[in-house]
């Protein structure tokens, strides 16, 4: 049973995912990952991602200078959030991602995980552009932005697929 305080945060000891569903989910997750891995295109994409951050800049003209530098923030962090950026939306993203950091797999504890904009554009609140990260991973992805955008764009499709399956077994 999930319990929240008045600010919508989880109360200690009340797991967001019932234990038996967690087990079921991890079984299905590994099954789907195995299936995805059989897909050549996916495998190639992931192997590039796992090789390192340099691959994404390779051969791209001017990628490391000026506006294209992954560390160049371009004032994005000062942009006002779009109107759709609500706690309800963030909560639904966390639910989709099973309250788990999508980088280090840390399960959400007392403190809610952050919801990260994959393309760093805070106006883009499409669920496909949003992913759950713990606080430390969220600060990690502030550098090497090109790399992380590509990385999450690949993994988000897996998450959405997984969530569909998870919802159907829960129903």
CA 61 to chain centre: 28
The distance of closest approach from Cβ of residue 73 to Zn ion in the complex, given in angstroms and rounded to an integer, is: 21
Q: Which is nearer to Zn ion, 2 or 135 (CB)?
A: 135
Binding site for Zn ion (CB under 5 A): 101, 103-104, 106, 134, 137
Q: Which is nearer to Zn ion, 103 or 162 (CB)?
A: 103
The distance of closest approach from Cβ of residue 115 to Zn ion in the complex, given in angstroms and rounded to an integer, is: 13
The distance of closest approach from Cβ of residue 100 to Zn ion in the complex, given in angstroms and rounded to an integer, is: 9
Contact between residue 75 and residue 105 where contact means Cβ atoms under 8 Å apart? no
| Tokens coding 29 | 């997750």
The distance of closest approach from Cβ of residue 59 to Zn ion in the complex, given in angstroms and rounded to an integer, is: 30
Q: Which is nearer to Zn ion, 113 or 145 (CB)?
A: 113
Q: Which is nearer to Zn ion, 106 or 150 (CB)?
A: 106
| Tokens coding 164 | 């569909």
Coil vs helix vs strand at 100? strand
Give the other-Cβ count within 10 Å of 112's Cβ: 21
Give the other-Cβ count within 10 Å of 68's Cβ: 14
Q: What angle do CA 66, 146, 164 make, to 5 degrees?
A: 155
């Amino acid at each position: 049973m999930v319990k929240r305080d008045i600010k919508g945060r989880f109360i200690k000891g009340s797991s967001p995912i019932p234990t038996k569903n967690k087990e079921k989910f991890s079984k299905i997750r590994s099954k789907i990952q195995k299936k995805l891995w059989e897909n050549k295109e996916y495998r190639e994409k992931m192997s590039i991602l796992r090789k390192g951050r340099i691959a994404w800049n390779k051969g791209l003209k001017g990628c490391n200078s000026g506006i294209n530098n992954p560390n160049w923030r371009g004032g994005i962090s000062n942009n006002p959030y779009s109107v759709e950026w609500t706690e309800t939306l963030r909560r639904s993203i966390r639910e989709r991602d099973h309250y788990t950091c999508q980088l280090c797999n840390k399960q959400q504890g007392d403190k809610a995980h952050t919801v990260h904009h994959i393309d760093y554009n805070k106006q883009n609140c499409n669920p496909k552009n949003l992913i759950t990260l713990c606080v430390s991973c969220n600060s990690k992805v502030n550098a090497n932005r090109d790399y992380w955008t590509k990385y999450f764009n690949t993994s988000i499709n897996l998450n959405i697929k997984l969530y569909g399956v998870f919802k159907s077994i829960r129903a």
